C-alpha cells in the first residue's frame, strides 16, 4: 500500500487508480499518517520552506475535522461537497510535490553551499506569484530558448494570457 501511495505522490498513477486510493487514504487513519509523513520527509529532504508541508498539514487538519457522521442523511450533501474539495486539494498537493521534486533534481547538481545561500523562495511557481518579474522574464527568455519553446505557451504564459484577457475586455 505504501508503494502505491509513493507512486501516487510521484504522479505515476492515473485517475482510475488514484481516485480509489485517495478514498482509501481518506478512510484509513494510518495511511493518512503515512501520506503526511511522506510529504514531510520529501519537504525536509528538499529543504522546501513553503507550501507542500503547509498544504499537507492543512489537508490533514481538514481531514481530521471531518465530522463523524452519526446522522448521514442530514449531512450527506455537505459531506459530498467536502470530499470533492479534499480530493481536489490532495491532487493539488500531489502536483506541488511533483514540482518540488523536479526542482530538487535540478538544484541537486549545485555545489552544496549554493542551495543554503539561496534567499529566494526555492519554488518558482510561488516566486512567480509574489514576483511577477520572474514570470515576465521567463516569457521573454523563451523567445530564444528552443528547449522551452512550448513551455512559453503553457505554464508560465498563463499569467500573460490572463492579462491579455483583461485588456481585451
Partner 1 sequence: MKYLVLGFVSLFFLSGNVQADSHQIDAISWLKKMESAAHQLTYTGTFVYQHGSNVETSKITHFMDDAGEHEKLVMLDGLPRETIRINDEVYCYLPDSKTVKVEKRNTRKFFPALLPKEIDKIAESYTIKLGEIERVAGYECRAVVLEPKDELRYGYKLCGDVTTALLLKATLMNRKNEAMNQFAFTHLAIGGQIDKSQFKPKSLWSKHTWQADKSVVLDANNNETGWLIKQPPSGFVKTKEMKRAMPGKTAPVTHLVYSDGLATISVFIEPLAGMAHPMQGLSSQEQVNIYAKLFNDYQITVIGEVPVATVMQFANSVVNPGQ
Residues that bind partner 1 (CB under 8 A): 10-11, 98-99, 102-103, 105-107, 109-111, 114-115, 117-125, 127, 130-134, 136-138, 140-155, 158, 160-161, 163-165, 167-168
- Smallest gap, in angstroms, from Cβ of residue 27 to partner 1? 27
Phi-psi group of 11: left, alpha or beta (phi > 0 → left; psi -120 to 50 → alpha; rest → beta): left
The nearer residue to partner 1, 60 or 153, going by C-beta atoms, is: 153
The nearer residue to partner 1, 6 or 153, going by C-beta atoms, is: 153
Q: Chain centroid to CA 6: how far?
A: 14
- Smallest gap, in angstroms, from Cβ of residue 99 to partner 1? 7
The nearer residue to partner 1, 63 or 125, going by C-beta atoms, is: 125
Q: Chain centroid to CA 155: how far?
A: 14
Query: Which residue in the block uniquely carries the three cell numbers 545561500?
Result: 117
Is residue 128 within 8 Å of residue 156, measured between CB atoms?
Answer: yes
Is residue 31 within 8 Å of residue 1, measured between CB atoms?
Answer: yes
The nearer residue to partner 1, 68 or 144, going by C-beta atoms, is: 144
Amino acid at each position: 500500500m505504501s508503494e502505491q501511495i509513493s507512486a501516487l505522490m510521484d504522479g505515476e498513477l492515473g485517475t482510475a487508480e488514484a481516485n480509489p486510493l485517495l478514498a482509501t487514504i481518506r478512510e484509513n487513519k494510518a495511511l493518512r499518517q503515512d501520506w503526511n509523513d511522506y510529504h514531510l520527509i520529501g519537504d525536509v529532504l528538499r529543504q522546501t520552506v513553503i507550501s507542500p508541508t503547509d498544504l499537507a498539514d492543512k489537508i490533514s487538519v481538514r481531514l481530521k475535522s471531518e465530522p463523524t457522521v452519526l446522522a448521514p442523511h442530514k449531512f450527506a450533501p455537505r459531506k459530498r461537497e467536502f470530499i470533492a474539495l479534499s480530493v481536489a486539494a490532495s491532487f493539488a498537493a500531489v502536483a506541488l510535490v511533483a514540482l518540488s521534486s523536479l526542482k530538487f533534481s535540478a538544484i541537486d547538481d549545485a555545489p552544496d553551499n549554493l542551495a543554503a545561500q539561496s534567499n529566494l523562495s526555492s519554488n518558482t511557481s510561488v516566486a512567480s506569484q509574489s514576483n511577477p518579474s520572474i514570470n515576465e522574464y521567463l516569457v521573454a527568455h523563451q523567445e530564444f530558448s528552443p528547449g522551452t519553446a512550448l513551455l512559453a505557451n503553457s505554464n508560465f504564459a498563463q499569467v500573460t494570457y490572463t492579462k491579455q484577457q483583461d485588456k481585451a475586455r
